[in-house]
Chains A and B, each alone.
Chain A
């Protein structure tokens, strides 16, 4: 009896894992489709629209969406909104990938070393992590940008300086677990060097957590980057960065709602794409969690 119920439970568990992996694949595919479309569209912007993002047309300001030649309308300078969103996507996607990838690599390396070696280095790094966690992240980024001077590059610097801590914390936590596993002990018993144990045995078991978090973080970074653009502290006008576009449109809300609305939808689409990829990967890579 016990044996049968055991196998029944096991098979149920396996089935739920399999179904999680299955639904995870669908989620991942939808996410890749959305994000992929946005990436391709912004890279292929010149093929999609002949309008230049910064071409001013004083004769046709504030044209409604679906106007001939201007699918999403024009702004107060007569600039084509669709073209600006497509070209602006290059900046916002660069923020998403550029800010996230650098901090992910730095943070993971620090967390891995901190968790693996332990000791006083670990204590110091963890105190720094605690300190940064106490700060309202957005406020700290603004303060750093304030000191360096508002620009898109300084925005990257501010994010690089502050965002690695989440990765360090995640990686350190999972490294501490992996360090005690038999495969790590075996690798060390075989006399492998620390670097090899860390990179070949621990990192592959930790990296899935990093990748899943990076997808969430990318959404956060795009929202952050556009927020700074909106406040005038990141990308500067006349850049077609989406936050800057939303800020430009704020003065024309009543007469021209489309100026601010469409760039916002673009941010949401990219964000949803990243989130779905993260959710899908979580189901596939960690179906048991």
Chain B
């Protein structure tokens, strides 16, 4: 057990440079802006006075090191600066939009698991069979499919032609959210299940070749029991790991799918902020999404360590 806690302790310590690195990277994003950010923000409304105000607001009138210190000082207090477009702090804008994004990510994750766990298992058990071949071709196509395009096709069939689901929006109340988010979640889930199905299939196949599977069979345990108790259990562990590794991909798909379905989440906020050159909101959203990925990755490691005792020795 100490080994396992030691592993987690080390894992948390490893996070510190990553978290600090994220803040540095996000801080320097603003300095990628060619020329004067105030000129970009103000456009035609540029006056030296307004520019000076924006410089002060963004902290650009300070030396670089002081700017970063102020940035960090604000961050520790949960402040992400003020939006230059909305009359609101970036933090409160993000807090308003976060629930929709989190729900969409979780929803998509659950749908992807529901689709890919049975598909991956059947494809591995009937290796080389019709189902396996069909899955292979299916994943080949879905991998190359842009999620925003698939979302549009779903809207065309299920929302406009069959009128089963709403075209866009988020709805009010939990069950209404689930109904509104079904097509967007399905869009993301399809892209994600490509990766999950492939990994699960490969993991099942390699587990089935292990000695302990033969041993269990020789001991007279039925094929089904061996599969359920040994092979599938091991494969599920690999799903948890894949989830962690590909979470960043999941978050990325969410950003674009939110725009397709007009869901008031972080992705839509980010895209709108790009268009209105709302740099503090771009920085804040990027930061929050990066922290989210780091946090969930830590969580998947904890779950992985709990499911697989070998982790502690690595």
Q: A residues engaging B (CB < 8 A)?
A: 127-128, 130-131, 133-140, 142-150, 219, 222-223, 226-227, 230-233, 243, 246, 249-250, 253-254, 257, 260-261, 263-264, 267-272, 274-276
When chains A and B are docked, how far (Å) is the Cα of A147 from the Cα of B278?
A: 10
When chains A and B are docked, how far (Å) is the Cα of A223 from the Cα of B149?
A: 10
> For A137, A138, A150, A276, which residue has the most chain B Cβ atoms within 10 angstroms?
A138
When chains A and B are docked, how far (Å) is the Cα of A227 from the Cα of B259?
A: 11
Residue of B nearest to A138 (CB): B252
CB within 8 Å for A136 and B251 given contacts A148-B34, A254-B160: yes
- A260 near B29: Cβ-Cβ < 8 Å: no
Residues of chain B at interface, number, CB under 8 A: 53
Interface of A is mostly: helix
Q: How far is the CB of B192 from chain A (nearest CB, A)?
A: 13
Known: A135-B293, A142-B255, A219-B144. 20 other contacts (CB 8 A): A131-B18, A136-B248, A136-B252, A137-B248, A137-B249, A139-B286, A139-B290, A143-B282, A143-B285, A146-B270, A146-B279, A223-B146, A230-B146, A230-B148, A231-B271, A233-B271, A233-B274, A253-B160, A264-B145, A267-B146
B187 at the interface (CB under 8 A from A): no
- Residues 12-39 of chain B, each 1 if its beta carbon lies under 8 Å from chain A, else 0: 0000011001100110011011100000
When chains A and B are docked, how far (Å) is the Cα of A127 from the Cα of B16?
A: 11
CB within 8 Å for A276 and B17 given contacts A136-B248, A139-B290: no
B197 at the interface (CB under 8 A from A): no
> For A137, A142, A267, which residue has the most chain B Cβ atoms within 10 angstroms?
A142
- B144 near A146: Cβ-Cβ < 8 Å: no
- Residues 279-296 of chain B, each 1 if its beta carbon lies under 8 Å from chain A, else 0: 100110110011001100
**Stretch of B50-58, B151-159, B235-243 at the chain-chain interface:** B151-159
Q: Which residues of A contact B283 (CB under 8 A)?
A: 143
Residue of A nearest to B18 (CB): A134
> For A138, A146, A274, A276, which residue has the most chain B Cβ atoms within 10 angstroms?
A146
